[in-house]
Structure 1
Amino acid sequence: MRVSVNGEQRELADGSTVADVVGTAVGDANGARGIAVAVDGEVVRRGHWPEVVVADGAEVEILTAVQGG
């Protein structure tokens, strides 16, 4: 299936979860800190990443918190 991750088209296995998408984008989804994810404009709580399946054609935004002022 194809999904958009931060505006870039990616090919993922059917049944991929938010955790899978984050893992492919940043490496280790379990160790990723300061990251927020939205699927089709809806924020997905970190605890739900392993269970939320991403649909074909979905738009996934992965945001990383940065420190600064």
Structure 2
Amino acid sequence: MSEHEYKFEVVMTCSGCSGAVERVLSKLQGVDSYDVSLESQSVVVRGSAPFDTVLEKIKKTGKEVKSSQVVR
């Protein structure tokens, strides 16, 4: 599978919020790596997982996704 990179702007107010996002991404098949930044309110995901699948997993944490894009 090809390597994708997705960027999301996610509303996270504390380390518990960013931790919840990290937990779902760590369990998601097809995710090779991710960077969750509470400071910049951003999540960057790399791997072969489909964009919609990653987006839905992040939304299921209850966090608001303000914007999302496919980088490559």
Give the TM-score of the pair, scaled to structure 1.
0.36
Give the TM-score of the pair, scaled to structure 2.
0.35
Query: Which structure is higher in RCO with an 8 Å CA cutoff and minimum separation 6?
Result: 2
- Give 1 or 2 for the bigger CA radius of gyration: 1
